[in-house]
Amino acid sequence: MSSIEEIDTDETFTSDYVSARKDEVDDIITATTIAQKKMENSIFEKLGSTENGNIIEKKKILNFLMNGIERIPMSHQGLDSSKVWISFWILNGMDMLDSLDSYPNISSRASKYLSILQNDDNNNNNNRDNNQNGGGFGGGNSHTSHVVSTFAAVSALYVIGTEESYKTIDREAMYKFLIRMKTKEGAFTSEDGGEYDSRTTYCAIAVASMLNILTPELERGVVDFLLSCQTYEGGFGAYPFNEAHGGYTFCSVAALSILNSLHKIDMNSLHRWITYRQSNDGGFEGRTNKLVDTCYSYWQGAVYIIIQSYFNYYKKQQETDAKEGDRQEEGLLFNQFKLQEYVIRFCQQTDKKYSGFSDHPHRGKDYYHTCYGLSGISLSQYNEIGKAIQSLNTFTNTFDQPSPPINKNSTNIFTISNNNNNNNNNNNNNNNNNNNNNNNSEDQLVEPVHPVYNIKLSKCEKGLKYFYSLNSINSNNGTK
């Protein structure tokens, strides 16, 4: 992959030329500029509000999520093929707020439902030839297996984090399914006869690594395919020669992290591209010249942390004489305060009973943006979160080294409520009766999640330990 500096630049478009035409360019009206202006107005309106918008309304968010366990609102009822994803968004959101395990019968209820979506070799409820189409999970009842839906189901079962949930998964049937999805290009198709891209490839590699079924046969060609998706901008597209996109960049970088191949990326080019994805609004945009979106607080935020972990690893290798205790954790590579402000203050939609996150200010809350909004907040709160990536390959090899602890002390965490440089807070907040007494720093913490898997660290470690205690899968579709 060539770095950006090697690309020839047309002399016509120099900085002086662009500066001279700036006013002319700014006057061009497009759908994007109109939407951006509307968003800016919404943000200015929120900044002028006397409401204490820097508080995560945990109790109301839990009300919103728990209500979804019992019944889905009409706005979501058309998403039949996304039932498994809705399950993950709700369960993971509750777990990040440390309230999932205490929910009555959640393990048995969720495991039983997700088992219905699994198409294993012995499952005849879908009226298909399961010997040919078995393995994996569908997105909804009686749906064919789909790699992305499978990743959502396995992640949800990890989040539940019980032996009952782990045993729901048929690993041998899963391996056969993933092998069947493998393409000659080194990618994985979404389903039988479906498309393939960096997203489906990440989902397959993530599932295989989570279940201890990642074999050389599954890995073959994957690194080369993903590297071919890096664009001249520095980010990654869905497919070679596609536009760089935040979601596909995460999928490519996270999968390469699992495969110990981060060093093969043009990392300086990637770092440059993602640095420009945090806008003045504080949120992350998914593509160049596009609106920011709450969900990218995780998709892009995780990439920042993977990059930082990569750089820190090689920096540590060069500082072998330095003692571990002498190193102080630095802040993250993005503006943590501005990101939290965008998600919490601008995109948290609260009423008398419920709260959740939307993609943009003054839009309706939904489970998807609530889940990934919380994930992004979590990543931005823990300066040490990159340690989880550095130990990932130790997890999947020996388990001799446990997950590094994430210290919840004032020097290693960053919350919008304890930032002394918050010059944007309205002084009238002290007069606001918020009826919310959880505004100290620790109460505002979201549970730390793994940047590569988006699962709470403790649940991630527990699941990996369980599956790596089982017999591994060999390339002959059976256990060793």
Within a 10 A sphere around the Cβ of 222, how many other Cβ atoms?
Answer: 24
Question: Residue type for 434, please?
Answer: N
Q: How far from the centroid of its chain's Cα atoms is residue 219's Cα? A: 22
Instruction: List the catalytic residue out of 296, 298, 382, 466.
Output: 296
> Which residues, 6+ apart, have CB-to-CB distance to 220 below 8 Å?
186
Alpha helices in 139-193 (DSSP H): 147-160, 163-166, 171-181
Is residue 290 flagged as an active site residue?
Answer: yes
Instruction: List the catalytic residue out of 229, 251, 295, 460.
Output: 295
The whole-angstrom separation of Cα 167 and Cα 22 is: 60
Beta strand pairing call for 348-350 and 355-357: antiparallel
Beta bridge partners of 278: 284
Instruction: List the catalytic residue out of 171, 182, 271, 287.
Output: 287
Instruction: List the catalytic residue out of 366, 387, 453, 466.
Output: 366
Is residue 245 flagged as an active site residue?
Answer: yes
Is residue 287 flagged as an active site residue?
Answer: yes
For the chain, the straight-line distance linking the first and the last C-alpha, in angstroms and rounded, comes to 38
Instruction: List the catalytic residue out of 345, 360, 369, 459.
Output: 369
Is residue 326 flagged as an active site residue?
Answer: no
* Residue 346 backbone zone (phi > 0: left; psi -120 to 50: alpha; other: beta): alpha
Nearest to 412 by CA among 389, 444, 384, 390: 384
Is residue 121 flagged as an active site residue?
Answer: no
Within a 10 A sphere around the Cβ of 137, how many other Cβ atoms?
Answer: 32
Is residue 271 flagged as an active site residue?
Answer: no
Is residue 372 flagged as an active site residue?
Answer: no
Beta bridge partners of 356: 349
Residue ranges with strand state E in 313-425: 348-350, 355-357
Instruction: List the catalytic residue out of 60, 176, 199, 245.
Output: 245
The whole-angstrom separation of Cα 248 and Cα 302 is: 12
How many CA atoms lie less than 13 Å away from 370 in the CB half-sphere?
33
Instruction: List the catalytic residue out of 180, 264, 272, 290.
Output: 290
Is residue 296 flagged as an active site residue?
Answer: yes
The whole-angstrom separation of Cα 9 and Cα 405 is: 47
Instruction: List the catalytic residue out of 95, 120, 170, 359.
Output: 359
For residue 209, give the H/E element and its range.
helix 198-211
CB 157 within 8 A of CB 147: no
Q: What is the DSSP string of 42-110?
A: HHHHHHT--S-TTS--HHHHHHHHHHHHH---GGGTT-GGGHHHHHHHHHHHHHHTT-STTSTTHHHHH
> Which residues, 6+ apart, have CB-to-CB distance to 56 below 8 Å?
344, 348, 377, 438, 444, 446
Instruction: List the catalytic residue out of 197, 293, 310, 347.
Output: 293
Q: Please give the C-alpha separations between residue 379 and each of 28, 58, 142, 358, 475, in angstroms, as whole numbers.
A: 37, 17, 36, 18, 36
The whole-angstrom separation of Cα 424 and Cα 279 is: 17
| Residue pointed to by tokens 């699994």 | 118
Task: Provide the annotated active-site residues.
Answer: 245, 287, 290, 293, 295-296, 359, 366, 369
